[in-house]
């Protein structure tokens, strides 16, 4: 009988994202990244198969061939790392918009790795699992264990985790246009800016101080993302002006902006108002 593992693949927001000027030999920027997971999620279901290959089905479909998706590449890399010769069917139901800075591809791929570890009886903490994830993408290390975390290096090396900060009301608002991560970094390179230190945000998270968290939001990819998608600047300014929103900023490389709200009712109200502007919006919470 086939075994089935089904897991939620949660989105993230960047409370702090500090990008440094210059690239390493692989073409990556040094980055300080503090992320926290939210309740908006995709669903990843893996089903055992006695025969190779690994098959990936995505709903809605992506505009890239299945074999080139991050989910497929990560699954096959994990199988190769552990000498797994059986297959699996991987079904991904997507709710997180792409080109939004919410980690859609990374969370799907990392959750697939976690589900396959359960299916194939692999220890998720095995260094080979972590190495497969790190090679796949910078955010993958966070999504293997999506607790509030500071990652350094190129955003792939876990430096510190923080106490859970659950049930904080969050509103997500995204303009119609998206921003690709490579384009955002290329635009940053044209007009680089120095990052702030993550020290104050780390202190706020250690104390579970939501007011200090809201006060210390930082993302120096926000200006280049807004230059690439001008409506994103309108979203950011609109969201910061809404009653019941403590603070707001672009997450990751955009084009989604998140707002930390005073209440769940405020998050719902702001999301409804954003929909009225023709933007995508979602009221959610930290987990």
* Domain shared by 42 and 127, yes or no: yes
List pLDDT tens digits, range 234-280.
999 999 999 999 999 999 999 999 999 999 999 999 999 999 999 99
DSSP code for 154: B
**Model confidence, pTM:** 0.95
Residue located via tokens 């992506």: 62
* Domain shared by 183 and 223, yes or no: yes
* CB atoms closer than 10 angstroms to residue 158: 17
* Domain shared by 194 and 242, yes or no: yes
List pLDDT tens digits, range 186-234.
999 999 999 999 999 999 999 999 999 999 999 999 999 999 999 999 9
* Domain shared by 12 and 134, yes or no: yes
* Domain shared by 173 and 48, yes or no: no
Cis omega (within 30 of 0) on the bond before 228?
A: no
End-to-end CA distance of the chain: 34
Catalytic positions: 12, 139
Phi, psi dihedrals of residue 2, rounded to the nearest 5°: -65, 140
The count of domains in the chain is: 2
* Domain shared by 101 and 226, yes or no: no
Domain boundary among 143, 161, 179: 161
* Domain shared by 26 and 150, yes or no: yes
Domain of 259 in residue numbering reads as 169-285
Look up the CATH number of the domain holding residue 200: 3.30.70.890
């Amino acid at each position: 009988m086939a075994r089935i593992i089904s897991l939620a693949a949660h989105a993230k927001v960047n409370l702090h994202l500090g990008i440094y000027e210059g690239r390493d030999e692989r073409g990556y920027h040094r980055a300080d990244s503090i992320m926290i997971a939210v309740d908006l999620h995709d669903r990843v279901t893996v089903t055992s198969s006695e025969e190779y290959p690994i098959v990936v089905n995505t709903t809605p479909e992506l505009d890239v061939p299945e074999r080139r998706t991050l989910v497929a590449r990560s699954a096959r890399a994990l199988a190769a790392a552990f000498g797994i010769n059986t297959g699996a069917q991987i079904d991904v139901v997507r709710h997180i918009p792409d080109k939004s800075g919410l980690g859609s591809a990374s969370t799907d791929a990392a959750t697939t790795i976690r589900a396959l570890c359960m299916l194939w009886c692999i220890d998720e903490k095995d260094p080979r699992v972590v190495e497969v994830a790190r090679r796949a993408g910078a955010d993958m290390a966070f999504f293997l264990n999506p607790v509030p975390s500071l990652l350094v290096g190129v955003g792939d090396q876990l430096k510190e985790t923080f106490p859970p900060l659950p049930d904080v009301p969050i509103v997500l608002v995204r303009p119609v246009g998206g921003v690709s991560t490579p384009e955002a970094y290329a635009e940053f390179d044209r007009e680089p800016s120095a990052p702030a230190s993550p020290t104050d945000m780390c202190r706020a998270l250690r104390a579970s101080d939501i007011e200090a968290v809201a006060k210390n939001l930082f993302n120096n990819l926000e200006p280049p993302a807004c230059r690439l998608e001008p409506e994103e600047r309108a979203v950011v300014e609109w969201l910061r002006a809404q009653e019941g929103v403590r603070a707001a900023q672009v997450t990751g490389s955009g084009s989604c902006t998140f707002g930390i709200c005073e209440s769940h009712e405020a998050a719902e109200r702001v999301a409804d108002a954003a929909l009225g502007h023709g933007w995508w919006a979602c009221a959610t919470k930290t987990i």
